[in-house]
Amino acid sequence: MKVLVVGGGGREHALAWKLKQSPAISRIFCAPGNAGTEELGENVPIRANDLAALLKFAKQNAINLTVVGPDDPLAAGIVDLFEREGLRIFGPRKSAAQLESSKIFAKQLMQQQGIPTAAAGTFDDADAARRFCETARLPIVIKADGLALGKGVIIASSREEALEAIEEMMTRGRFSDAGRRIVIEEFLAGSECSVHALISGGRFQMLATARDHKRAFDGDKGPNTGGMGAISPADTWSDELQSQFDRAGMRPLLAGLTSRGIDFRGLLFPGLMINQSGPQVLEFNCRFGDPETQAILPRLRSDLLELIDATIDGELDRATSEWDDRVAVTVVLASGGYPEKYETGHEISGLEEAAKLSNVLIFHAGTQRKNGRVVTAGGRVLAVTALGDSTEVARRLAYEAVERISFEGCHFRRDVAASRAPINVVSD
């Protein structure tokens, strides 16, 4: 069968790499893909948000399955479009993707279902938002309602920062329409964890966990990014927390979606903060995480295609996932200046040397091939993943591989998976 993977980042490279292992798949196309995905199949020069062109390509090339990586096409209704044309596709429909595309929708659903989350207010008027911030306890979290490439969350430690964030989003339009409405919520302290679950027919099956590193610099300092590294399994998770989240998070969520006539079929990725109250939901994402996927999929021993098929068909009870017991550590190599302004077009060296290391995988993100050379083409450039019998072994191997790779302006965190973050109390 022929599979189309939509997207061109590290997550999509990891998805294509894992799908390539399925004996049922004969050809893989990636749209638009990157320098890494073209080694697995054929890149197609179609943007991930060009739904009409993707549909035309899938029909003309008799694609048997489309797997959607990024959030934008899901929010725009690519699944609804493909299904109307009788095409098989993995991902939630537009109504279900609201869990990620609208922070306000997600927050209101959580509040109505009693799902543990930060107390919050929602605003479509800048003056009302400013007045709220004048008396709110600091620090405070300000979120753009819509999709903002993982950058629409500001943690303000002062009134001035909070007011500036409101001005940037609601008045100056930093995130265009995505920031015209905002959520302002209490700051939760604790340890973060990313969980992934396949959902279909009102049922769910949990996949492996991961812990992401969002801040740009060591010590969790600097601006938020799309993610600078990950470890799987999460060193902040336990069977007890899993049971608690199943009961207080997943089941009420599915009940709330069902009561609204929303049939979620796809991958749900809740971002959690763990504190003395247990798991608190920070956000819902409706696709595989990035860079979490680059740490999770190398540990998956099962056929990813079989899990996807069971999800689409509403038959999760017939699918099982088996996992490698080893730890995976992923370090992201980014362009200098990311997540703000950065340069592209710099040649990347050392990829072949790094790939020679055993138990190391290199997933491309912002790369492309020019004149036979691999060059940088984005903010997050590569994700280097290593597997080891312990966190220490995996970390050492990942950074050994990282040190073999270089490009002008290369930036990466040196403390990925270095220590387990302390679990603190929730702020109020």
Amino acid at residue number 264 = F
Give pLDDT tens digits for 343-399.
999 999 999 999 999 999 999 999 999 999 999 999 999 999 999 999 999 999 999
Give pLDDT tens digits for 67-76.
999 999 999 9
Give pLDDT tens digits for 177-233.
888 899 999 999 889 999 999 999 889 999 999 999 999 999 999 988 999 999 999
Among 225, 212, 214, 211, CA closest to 151: 225
Edge-to-edge strands, sheet with 327-334: 211-212, 229-232, 327-334, 380-388, 360-364
Give pLDDT tens digits for 342-357.
999 999 999 999 999 9
* SS3 annotation, the chain: CEEEEEECCHHHHHHHHHHHCCCCCCEEEEEECCCCHHHCCEECCCCCCCHHHHHHHHHHCCCCEEEECCHHHHHHCHHHHHHHCCCCEECCCHHHHHHHHCHHHHHHHHHHHCCCECCEEEECCHHHHHHHHHHCCCCEEEEECCCCCCCCEEEECCHHHHHHHHHHHHHCCCCHHHHCCEEEEECCCCEEEECCEEEECCEEEECCCEEECCEEECCCEEEECCCCEEEECCCCCCHHHHHHHHHHHHHHHHHHHHHCCCCCCEEEEEEEEEECCEEEEEEEECCCCCCHHHHHHHHECCCHHHHHHHHHHCCHHHCCCCECCCEEEEEEEECCCCCCCCCCCCECECHHHHHCCCCEEEEECCEEEECCEEEECCCEEEEEEEEECCHHHHHHHHHHHHCCCECCCCECCCCCCCCCCCCCCCCC
Distances from the Cα of 244 to the Cα of 111, 195, 241, 249, angstroms: 17, 13, 5, 8
pLDDT of 99 strictly over 80: yes
Among 351, 383, 385, CA closest to 369: 351
pLDDT of 149 strictly over 80: no
pLDDT of 420 strictly over 70: no
pLDDT at 152: 84
pTM reported for the whole predicted model: 0.93
Give pLDDT tens digits for 78-87.
999 999 999 9
Q: Could you tell me which residues come within 8 angstroms of residue 64 by beta carbon, excluding any fewer than 6 positions away?
A: 1, 2, 3, 88
Q: Which residue has the tokens 């950065």?
A: 342
Higher local confidence (pLDDT), 308 or 136: 308
pLDDT at 427: 32
**Long-range contacts for 78-83 (Cβ within 8 Å, ≥24 apart)?**
78/6, 78/51, 78/54, 79/266, 81/51, 81/55, 82/55, 82/58
Q: Could you tell me which residues come within 8 angstroms of residue 226 by beta carbon, excluding any fewer than 6 positions away?
A: 149, 150, 151, 290, 291, 339, 379, 380
Q: Which residue has the tokens 């007045």?
A: 131
Q: What percent of the chain has pLDDT over 90?
A: 85
pLDDT at 424: 36
pLDDT of 425 strictly over 50: no
- What length does the chain have? 428
pLDDT at 179: 85
Confidence bin at 264 (pLDDT 50/70/90): very high
pLDDT at 204: 95
Sign, CA dihedral 244-246-251-252, equals positive
pLDDT of 263 strictly over 90: yes
